[in-house]
Structure 1
Amino acid sequence: MYNFDQLLILFSALLFLVVLFSFINEKTIKLPYEIGLVVFGFIFVVLYIIGRNLNLVHIPIEFLNLYREFDFTDFLFKGVLCFMLFSGASRIEFGDFKADKFLIGSMAVIGTLVSTVVYGLLFFGLGYLIHVNITFLEACILGAIVAPTDPISAMSILAKAGLPKRIGLIIEGEALFNDGVAVAIFATLITALKLSTDSVSVMSFTWGLTTEILGAVAVGFVVSFLLFEVFKRSNDNFIKIFTSILTVMLSYLICEYLVFSGPIAAVICGLYYATAIAGLQRNNHICMTEELRDLFYSFWSVVDNLLNGILFLLVGVLLLNIKNINTLSVGMIFTIAIGSILFNTIARLAGVYASMIFNKNPPKSKGMPNHRFIAFMTWAGLKGGLCLALIMGTSISLATPTYNLFLVATYAIVLFTTVVQGLSVGKGYIWLSGNGSKVKPQKKNVKVAGSAVK
């Protein structure tokens, strides 16, 4: 347990690295903010490991102990995730998803389930070929970890790729909701692993998944409705901002207590506020002034960018969390990394294809045939901090060799999708849509709801 001084030291160090790497990136290779932090964080770790092995670099043991004690899973799930999801969702109205609600729903549920199983089968087969002792249940746990597209990556990276609004909303909508599905699958499979059984009751799995999602939606709506009444009736703009913070915190805490999906509740809160604020604007309500609108979206934009920066930096440095790295040969690491990236693409393709089977109204409005849309959505499936938080949550449940392999696999997927796919997704859309003209990136508008993706 950290004391206040330790927390201040750790946060100061993280913020220092965020500022340093962001400044270097801005003045040199000029990658997108989030991708730059991942790249420079990764380079920093590689240089540190090389320097440590050559006795050229020394970091005080007190600071290394602080880092080793840092719980990334708790930091993401019980700390910053709810605020980041609320911030992203608060720029999208419920009505924005109307045209593609069935596609988004099928991708979030069916796509995640299919991707989990397909990836599990492929990784289990790889383990058999390279003589690594992995059970099919353990392989499916890894499949559940890497199946969901990360909402933070989608909102922060894809928003800057210059995608058409409808395509961007589909990607963002799936990313906002499929994390709850993946976490429910993950929790069920981890429970089965602890009980030493390869079978999971279909009834208990379905019931658990349904209650976790529907319960979170109900909590998000009820808390948002009650506290938005305070937001609407208060004459103090700062009280309104504090009310929005309380809304997402209270919803998340209630869901934690009732074992519902806190992330989904946070998304519902953000969508509710965006829709309600837009309604007040359209009706020229006296409480919705230009000053309040600027303050609300500016505040949540600052929160979003600060937490995003810290999160993506941590994604870059989490390679340090491999236990007894000397137990893994270079050849093993390379094989697992390449295989994982390939399997992730195949599993994602299978999930998107399965989702399209159940969708009767594919988005053809941009002149993209179904097979090209499936290919694009496969490439646009970015993974991020959510996957790493889940894998780090298995450090106790899995044996150290298995945990190390799974961490390498997850890290390789996150690094590849964030950097390679994140940088090329805009060009990929242009190529697949047959549009030779360059799609101009849209700047995030912090004032108007629904402007996170244009």
Structure 2
Amino acid sequence: MTNALRLSPFDAAAILIVLAAALGYLNFRFLKLPSSIGLTIMGAVASLIVVALDRVLPGSGLAHDVAGFIAGIDFHTTLMEGMLSFLLFAGALHVDWHEMRRGRWAILVLSTIGVVLSTVLVGGGFLLLARVIGFDVPAIWCFVFGALISPTDPVSVMGVLKRAKVSPTLEATVAGESLFNDGVGVVIFSILLASAVSGADFSILEGVRLFAVEAGGGILLGLAIGGIAFRAMRSIDDYKVEVLISLAVVMGGYAVAHPLHASGPVAMAVAGLIIGNAGVAHAMSETTRDYLHKFWDLVDDILNTVLFLLIGLEVVTIPADLRLLILGIAAIPLALAARALSVILPLRAIRPTRAHDVVVPATLIWGGLRGGISVALALGLPEGPARALILAATYVVVLFSVIIQGGTIERLLDRLSARGTAS
């Protein structure tokens, strides 16, 4: 990479924000698509233009420079130690605890057993697809892909739910499942990735132990920091200090999670639920509530915009190999089938009397969008032969999810409701 592209973290952030603002303006002004869909499409088009120019002017090295810029961003650190904490906390603030309690069993089962089942199904299926197409990839890396693609993106899902007309309970169930399956999915991803990188045989018992420690620790940490913040907010009435406390919860709590071996994503989801429900109802004035929501809405929108822009730009980082495209396309029905089974089977087990219900599973399956978090996890993978396969499959699945599923879920739910199947 040239000296001009050896950017500081601030320079990289500045470029992404400027691009996101420019494309966001163009989308709002001309395309008028939902933000996630518009930014993903324009990012992909911009990437294709870069690739085309690089083919026409092979000496320019344009695609190489753009790929170098994207590769120069430490996505694993940026996401795991930064973006994810803000995204999950901001998302949890808007989930209604009372409505979510009605769907608590579905949320619990889908965000744990459902994620594990999906990881296994996608991982096994991806291994078969890769071998059939001609890639000799170790099985553990296929399950790493299953772990990063199985959780749904709370940013994408809640953006869809804001547009779709669904019941408050269903909205809270889908949003709550997305929040917690994301935290659980990151824990599973981290455990599998550590095994893949080390080359050691994966132990199911050790994986279960690590999962229990990290997820359980995350819940306890979230309850602790959320409770402390709630009591602090209730004892004062100053919107600036209270918003600062919420920021301290996210940054300080996430920093504390790592040395305690607790799951930061799970902790942020729990803390966000406490502050967004008990805090908003009993510890804040109307002024504080307004400022808190506007601050976190802005943070959410900025990070959302950057992540979806990066989804579109990611195509530049994928090697030019037709087999990778075929593998990515084949991964779409695999991911959808795994999502369907990991939703329908657990729901049938806990709700056998509502097996005829169509709206809930349809919303969870087709509305279970993959988004920027899956992309960031894939981009953060270490260099190796499996990285290109996982990147390509992640890009194609996420692109399909955001554009096709995200663009049609509202009409699907309207049709189901019109047929009188809404509960």
Residue 58 and residue 138 in structure 1: after superposition, are their counterparts in 2 closer, same or farther (change >3 A)? closer
Structure 2 gap segments, 5+ residues each: none
Report the alpha carbon displacement of residue 164 of structure 1 after superposing the two structures with TM. Answer: 2.5
Moved more, 407-416 or 234-243: 234-243
What corresponds to 2:404 in structure 1? Answer: 420
| Equivalent residue letter for 2:164 | A
Equivalences for residues 143-292 of structure 1 within 5 A: 143-198=146-201, 200-280=202-282, 288-292=284-288
Residue 292 and residue 193 in structure 1: after superposition, are their counterparts in 2 closer, same or farther (change >3 A)? closer
Report the alpha carbon displacement of residue 60 of structure 1 after superposing the two structures with TM. Answer: 11
What corresponds to 1:444 in structure 2? Answer: none
| Equivalent residue letter for 1:230 | A
| Equivalent residue letter for 2:329 | I
Report the alpha carbon displacement of residue 59 of structure 1 after superposing the two structures with TM. Answer: 5.4
Residue 293 and residue 138 in structure 1: after superposition, are their counterparts in 2 closer, same or farther (change >3 A)? closer
Residue 23 and residue 303 in structure 1: after superposition, are their counterparts in 2 closer, same or farther (change >3 A)? same
The alignment partner of 1:257 has SS state of coil
Contact in 2 for aligned 1:6/1:66 (Cα 8 Å): no
What corresponds to 1:316 in structure 2? Answer: 312
What corresponds to 2:298 in structure 1? Answer: 302
How many Å separate the matches in 2 of 1:242 and 1:313? 28
1:42 is matched with which residue: 38, 41, 44? Answer: 44
Length-normalised TM-score, structure 2:
0.91
Contact in 1 for aligned 2:180/2:266 (Cα 8 Å): yes
How many Å separate the matches in 1 of 2:222 and 2:360? 32
Q: Cα RMSD (Å) of the superposition?
A: 2.7
Report the alpha carbon displacement of residue 61 of structure 1 after superposing the two structures with TM. Answer: 8.6
| Equivalent residue letter for 1:320 | V
How many Å separate the matches in 1 of 2:407 and 2:7? 38
Residue 195 and residue 52 in structure 1: after superposition, are their counterparts in 2 closer, same or farther (change >3 A)? closer
What corresponds to 2:343 in structure 1? Answer: 352
Report the alpha carbon displacement of residue 416 of structure 1 after superposing the two structures with TM. Answer: 0.5
Q: Quick one: percent identity of the two aligned structures?
A: 27
Q: Which has the higher helix share?
A: 2
Residue 209 and residue 33 in structure 1: after superposition, are their counterparts in 2 closer, same or farther (change >3 A)? same
What corresponds to 1:447 in structure 2? Answer: none
| Equivalent residue letter for 1:84 | L
Report the alpha carbon displacement of residue 203 of structure 1 after superposing the two structures with TM. Answer: 2.3
| Equivalent residue letter for 1:318 | E
The alignment partner of 2:134 has SS state of coil
Report the alpha carbon displacement of residue 239 of structure 1 after superposing the two structures with TM. Answer: 0.8
CA offset digits 1:131-189 (Å, max 9, x no partner):
22123322222111211111221123332233332222121111100122222222332
Residue 251 and residue 90 in structure 1: after superposition, are their counterparts in 2 closer, same or farther (change >3 A)? same
Report the alpha carbon displacement of residue 10 of structure 1 after superposing the two structures with TM. Answer: 2.1
How many Å separate the matches in 2 of 1:73 and 1:434? 44
Structure 1 gap segments, 5+ residues each: 281-286, 440-454
What corresponds to 2:368 in structure 1? Answer: 381
Length-normalised TM-score, structure 1:
0.85
CA offset digits 1:168-227 (Å, max 9, x no partner):
2121111100122222222332333344355x3332222211111111111111112122
How many Å separate the matches in 2 of 1:61 and 1:144? 29
What corresponds to 2:27 in structure 1? Answer: 25
Contact in 1 for aligned 2:54/2:63 (Cα 8 Å): no
| Equivalent residue letter for 2:370 | K
Moved more, 238-247 or 151-160: 151-160
Residue 184 and residue 88 in structure 1: after superposition, are their counterparts in 2 closer, same or farther (change >3 A)? closer
1:80 is matched with which residue: 76, 80, 83? Answer: 83
The alignment partner of 1:28 has SS state of helix
Report the alpha carbon displacement of residue 48 of structure 1 after superposing the two structures with TM. Answer: 0.7
| Equivalent residue letter for 1:335 | I
How many Å separate the matches in 2 of 1:131 and 1:381? 30
The answer to whether 1:116 aligns with 2:119 is: yes
2:324 is matched with which residue: 318, 333, 340? Answer: 333
What corresponds to 1:432 in structure 2? Answer: 416
The alignment of Structure 1 onto Structure 2 pairs a total of residues equal to: 418
Report the alpha carbon displacement of residue 360 of structure 1 after superposing the two structures with TM. Answer: 3.0
Residue 121 and residue 68 in structure 1: after superposition, are their counterparts in 2 closer, same or farther (change >3 A)? closer
Residue 248 and residue 58 in structure 1: after superposition, are their counterparts in 2 closer, same or farther (change >3 A)? same
